[in-house]
Amino acid sequence: MRALRFENNQLRLRGVAVPMSKTEALVRVLKSGICNTDTEICKGYANFQGTIGHEFVGVVEESSGAPHLIGKRVVGEINAGCGECGLCKKNDSRHCPNRTVLGIKGRDGAHAEFLTLPARNLLEVPDTVSDSQAVFVEPLAAAFGITEQIEIFPDARIAVVGDGKLGNLCAQSLALKSNRLTLIGKHAEKLSLVANRNIETVLLEDALKFGKDFDVVVEASGSESGFSLALDLLKPRGKLVLKSTFSGRTNTELWRVVVEEITIVGSRCGRFAPAIRLLEDNKINVENLVSEEFSLSEGVRAMRRAEEKGVMKVLLSMTN
């Protein structure tokens, strides 16, 4: 099969064997989505070597442990726990110290014709959710996961810093819980994607008109300057949610966190089931986030395209 692999500091499309597993389900990938994490991996993040990609929708081809899944269209939780530690036994394989992570840690990923995952990681996709929408389940779960980490009150004033894919999904998710949501970004076109979603949009250069007005600020800009802006916007004792994984080191002013008694919450992945439901109920618009779709054979070019300015989600199709 064809697979988009990062090896020896090089990204390339290669022919490799179809993965075989006695214990896991085999999934034929239909579409995958290129995430900023994929481009960060190609810059050294997570020290990963192998097939990249973790956002996908596919069809189960083989599943000896869960035969009812065969032929079903599925998405998959990307963290595969050991199944034996205390966290796994509490159903929290996302934090298992021995976990592998699809296309990120110890496990080949989704930018390929086939992948394997434990059957318990797979969730069926309702017919009303399209393949292109389903590819967004993973990042949407990550965005909506914030609402499980901190309580969002309807009158809480919330800012999301960053108008990229993740910032957009965070803003749409949190606007379902708060009536006072502001999305701050550098690009008027990207901000316009959340029009009619009950979200105030503000250009970065105008953001300092706000004082320390916000109860919660979500940093999703993927740049270090976002952290300092977030601190400029937060009320004393506010909550700062960090969403970006970028491979650089930070030079943050932690004394400001102490003086203002800020609570910092790191936030990575979320549960898939609520995200599938949000898409099924048309609560979140993801179609307008797709900038372009490439075939898997053009994977290297697609990755380059995903890094260009102004580009939102780039999809890979395995079927053409």
| DSSP annotation string for 85-146 | SHHHHTT-GGG-TT-EETTTBSS--SSBSEEEE-GGGEEEPPTTS-HHHHTTHHHHHHHHTH
The yes or no reply on residue 35 touching Zn ion (CB under 5 A) is yes
Beta-carbon contacts of residue 46 (< 8 Å; ≥ 6 apart)? 37, 40, 104, 105
Among 81, 109, 164, 222, binds Zn ion (CB under 5 A): 81
**C-alpha dihedral sign at 119, 120, 125, 126:** positive
* Residues near Zn ion (CB under 5 A), total: 7
Which 3 state secondary structure label does DSSP give 280? helix
Record the tokens describing residue 14, joined without a space.
């290669």
d(CA 228, CA 254) in angstroms, rounded, equals 10
Nearer to Zn ion (CB atom), residue 37 or residue 201: 37
Sequence-distant (6+) residues with CB within 8 A of 233 are 159, 161, 207, 210, 212, 213, 214, 217
Convert residues 4-33 into a mask of x (bound to Zn ion by CB under 5 A) and - (unbound). Answer: ------------------------------
- What minimum distance in Å lies between the beta carbon of 238 and Zn ion? 27
Choice from 14, 43, 82, 126 touching Zn ion (CB under 5 A): 82
Contact with Zn ion (CB under 5 A): which of 18, 46, 59, 85? Answer: 85
> Is residue 37 a contact point for Zn ion (CB under 5 A)?
yes
259 binds Zn ion (CB under 5 A): no
* Closer residue to Zn ion (CB): 89 or 212: 89
Establish if 269 lies at the interface with Zn ion (CB under 5 A): no
**Site map (CB under 5 A) of Zn ion, residues 147-166, x = contact:** --------------------
Strand partners, 27: 60, 115
Stretch near Zn ion under the rule CB under 5 A, chosen from 60-68, 80-88, 101-109, 118-126:
80-88
Spatial distance between the Cα atoms of 224 and 163, rounded to a whole number of angstroms: 15
**Among 83-91, 103-111, 183-191, 273-281, the segment contacting Zn ion (CB under 5 A):** 83-91
CB-nearer residue toward Zn ion: 2 or 99: 99
- Applying CB under 5 A, which of residues 96, 102, 135, 231 lies at the interface with Zn ion? 96
Beta strand 234-242 with 214-219 is parallel
For residue 313, the Cα-to-chain-centroid distance in whole angstroms is: 11
Of the candidate residues 25, 88, 110, 194, the single one contacting Zn ion (CB under 5 A): 88
- Determine, following the binding rule CB under 5 A, whether residue 80 of this chain makes contact with Zn ion: no
Residue 121 near Zn ion by CB under 5 A: no
CB nearer Zn ion, residue 34 or residue 262: 34
For residue 60, the SS3 value is: strand
Give me the residues that bind Zn ion (CB under 5 A), please. 35, 37, 81-82, 85, 88, 96
